[in-house]
Amino acid sequence: MIRRLFVLVLLIIIGYFLGTAMASIPFGAEKVDVGPYRSVGNYYVDNTVQETGGVNAVTSIVVLYRGFDTLGEVTVLFLAATGLAAILALTRERRKLKKEKPSLIMRVGTDYLFPAAIVLGSYVFLHGHLTPGGGFPGGVIIASGFLMLFLAQWRYKVDELGLKIIESLAGMTYVTIGLIGLFKLGTFLGNFLGKGTPGALLSAGIIPVIYIVIGIKVGSEMTGLLQNLRETTENE
Amino acid sequence: MAPFVLYLSLALAILMIVGAIVVVVTKDLLVAVIASAVVDLVLAILFYILQAPDVAITQAAIGAGLTTAIFVVVLRKTERFEDD
């Protein structure tokens, strides 16, 4: 009872402060004044193509305008995967679990879907600057291809050391590209490769390079994570 | 927004709310995981209708795909039913 009262009081306090903060912004009015543009969003819509050469404004923002934040996101994912691996290594499960053979449909379907998943994932991160997508979803699509493989074939294993090496190399490449930008242009992750023709595959400078790196990194990280989970589930 | 699209998004939003309620109420955690996958998938469709294909792809791949798989694996390791 006293706990519920405590929660209620806490909710009222949070609600009060959120309410007062929101009340100071007039409803429907433009929140940020950026000169001739009515809002920050309009600025990006109008200027992204000239400033970055990337046709997809979303990925231009993610990689160029706020590339440093994206490096932070990649780090968060890396730390989460490492933390999970550490926890799983500490608590090796001894319980025996029933194994069922994967069905024929699962096995045959995976044979056809696995290459498709890899190709789709690579497409999504290679064309991040042209079409919707980017490194994170591309990497996750590749990892889900590996998930299908794990489900359909009990004995299949990915070389864990190889995954870690690929992942570390990708992370190092990201930072190196950022440092090259720092030395050449004076800003971390500066676009030192030029803009190219907007809409061409090789355009928008470092966006495709960064997205290839992120795609490979996220894909190998997620695959390693799934393999870790699977092993602690099915061993013993 | 055309009326058809408007009604479709309203129906999808209601489906999302129902799914979210199921997630909280049910005692069978496997049902909860499936229901949250439905919420994520419908959210991805709504993102697409609202012209945010980038977010839709990410939501479908991570929310509906990978997160669900990880939850199911974790459920296999732990308990399927929530006790009071």
pLDDT computed for residue A235 by the predictor: 47
Average pLDDT over residues B4-19: 90
* 3 state SS of A34: strand
Check CB contact under 8 Å for A132 and B57. yes
Of B56, B57, B77, the CB nearest to A124: B57
Contact B66 A147 (CB under 8 A): yes
Give domain status of residue A25, yes or no: no
Q: Which residues of B touch A223 (CB under 8 A)?
A: none
Which of A73, A140, A218, A236 is the best residue to mutate to test the B interface, defined by the most B CB atoms within 10 Å of its own CB?
A140
- Whether A63 is in a domain gets the answer yes
Residue A45 lies in a domain: no
Cβ distance of A134 and B54 shorter than 8 Å = yes
How far does chain A reach from its first CA to its final CA, in angstroms?
Answer: 45
Q: Which chain B residue has its CA at the smallest distance from A59's CA?
A: B54
Q: Does B69 touch chain A (CB under 8 A)?
A: yes
Provide the pLDDT for residue A59. 83
pLDDT in tens, chain A (236 residues): 788 899 999 999 999 999 888 887 776 666 666 666 667 777 788 887 777 777 888 888 888 888 788 888 888 888 888 888 888 777 765 555 556 678 888 888 888 999 999 999 899 888 878 888 888 888 889 988 888 888 888 777 888 888 888 888 888 888 888 888 888 877 777 777 777 777 777 777 788 888 888 889 888 988 888 888 776 655 44
Instruction: Give domain status of residue A177, yes or no.
Output: yes
What is the percent of chain B where pLDDT is above 70?
98
Angle at A62 between CA A57 and CA A63, to 5 degrees: 100
In chain B, what residues touch A133 (CB-CB under 8 Å)? 54, 57
pLDDT at B56 over 50: yes
Domain count, chain A: 1
Residue A45 CB partners (closer than 8 Å, separation 6+): A57
pLDDT on residue A37 = 67
Mean pLDDT along residues B1-29:
89
Q: Is residue A148 part of a domain?
A: yes
Residue A214 included in any domain? yes
Give me the pLDDT at residue A167, please: 87
Are the Cβ atoms of B58 and A144 closer than 8 angstroms? no
Cβ B74–A229 below 8 Å, yes or no? yes
The rounded distance, in Å, linking the Cα atoms of A228 and A234 is 10
The predicted structure's pLDDT at residue A28: 64
CA distance A178 to chain B (A): 24
Residue A229 counted as domain residue: yes
Query: Residue A117 contacts by C-beta under 8 Å, 6 or more apart in sequence?
Result: A141, A142, A144, A145, A148
3-state secondary structure A85-134: HHHHHHCCCCCCCCCCCCCHHHHHHHHHHHHHHHHHHHHHHHCCCCCCCC
pTM score, whole prediction? 0.78
- Residue A151 CA to residue B66 CA, distance in Å, equals 13
| Domain enclosing residue A227, as ranges | 54-234
Answer whether residue A69 is part of any domain. yes
